[in-house]
Amino acid sequence: MASQTIADALALGILEGLTEFIPVSSTGHLLLAGHFLGFESTGKAFEVLIQLGAILAVVAGYFTRLWKILLDLPHDPRARRFTIGVLIAFLPAAIIGALAHDFIEGVLFETPKLICIMLILGGLVLFWVDRWALTPKYHDIMDLPLPVCLGVGLFQCLALIPGTSRSGATIVGAMLLGADKRSSAEFSFFLAMPVMFGAFVFDLLKNRDALSAADLPVIATGFIAAFVVAIFVVRYLVDYVSRHGFVVFAWWRVIVGVLGLAALFIWG
């Protein structure tokens, strides 16, 4: 990795854990923070690899439920349908992400102005969705029909543009397709596991020759920080969204986007 310190890695790991599962775009925040900190990683590998810490936070938080689904797979049609639904939702972004990987990380990840604009636009969408009186049809993620799961997966493809937010795209997509706020957030959590693990493995293989033992302390610091912080976010986010909606996240996105554009204008 080119330019990094343990302190930078710790700060970015905390930022990853804080933002991965809320609809504000963790990747956008990491790339902007890295830009202004002067933090550079080979092929943007650090930003992807530390996401595994956040994935493990979901696994830890939902371990009992995951284990029950696994045990129920042989004899419970709902468990099988849910598992198939998550896989179906995973495929569109996985295919497009793999095909467009070099463009995404080589061009889109290197365009801070685009990230800021997407943060602002995404914030406006959250304002709109939060105030639109949607009537949910699905209140349990186990009951989501397969076409709805596919639709959520297509919405997730929007998050390949940094600054959009994977969780934001999937939560909004699920709500527009009939899920309530709580089940939309929970489905986003479950969908994050194959998506982020796939991205982790893909980037690790892609950058395995460029990474060295000297990079391990930096990656490990970000990884552990992301895991610890994400544990708390996963634990409390669903209840918060169910009760309060997305207004605070919408404001967060707009403010960060505007401040980012201003900073880019002043400092470049």
Q: pLDDT tens for residues 76-106? A: 999 999 999 999 999 999 999 889 988 988 8
d(CA 43, CA 45): 5
pLDDT in 10s for each residue of the chain, 268 residues: 445 688 888 999 999 999 988 899 988 998 899 888 888 776 567 877 788 888 899 899 889 999 999 999 999 999 999 999 999 999 999 999 889 988 988 888 888 999 999 999 999 999 998 888 788 999 999 999 999 999 999 999 999 999 999 999 999 999 999 999 889 989 998 999 998 888 888 877 877 777 777 778 888 899 999 999 999 888 888 788 878 888 999 999 999 999 999 999 988 6
DSSP state of 134: -
Residue 47's closest CA among 218, 185, 161, 188?
218
Residues 2-49: tens digit of each pLDDT: 456 888 889 999 999 999 888 999 889 988 998 888 887 765 678 777
Average pLDDT, the chain: 89
3-state secondary structure of 242: helix
- In angstroms, the CA 17 to CA 13 distance is 6
Burial of 154 (0-12, 13-18, 19+ CB in 10 A): middle
Dihedral angle sign, alpha carbons of residues 76, 80, 83, 89 = negative
Q: What is the largest CA-CA distance in the chain?
A: 61
- Measured torsion, CA atoms of residues 199, 200, 201, 204, in degrees rounded to the nearest 10: 120
Look at the pTM and tell me if it is higher than 0.75: yes
Task: Please say whether the beta carbons of 125 and 229 come within 8 A.
Answer: no
44 in Cβ contact with 104 (< 8 Å): no
Both structure tokens of 91: 């495929």
Q: Using N-to-C axis directions, what is the helix angle for 26-37 and 247-267, rounded to 10°? A: 30
Residue length of the chain: 268
Tokens of 182: 């709580």
Q: In angstroms, what CA-CA distances link 200 with 44, 45, 122?
A: 12, 9, 25
Paired with 138 in beta bridges are: 179
Are the C-beta atoms of residues 13 and 48 closer than 8 Å to each other? no
Confirm if 246 and 126 have CB atoms less than 8 A apart. Answer: yes
CA angle 162, 18, 170 (to 5 degrees): 50
Neighbouring-strand partners of residue 179: 138
Which residue type does 47 have?
Answer: E
Q: Is 121 helix (H, G, I), strand (E, B) or coil?
A: helix
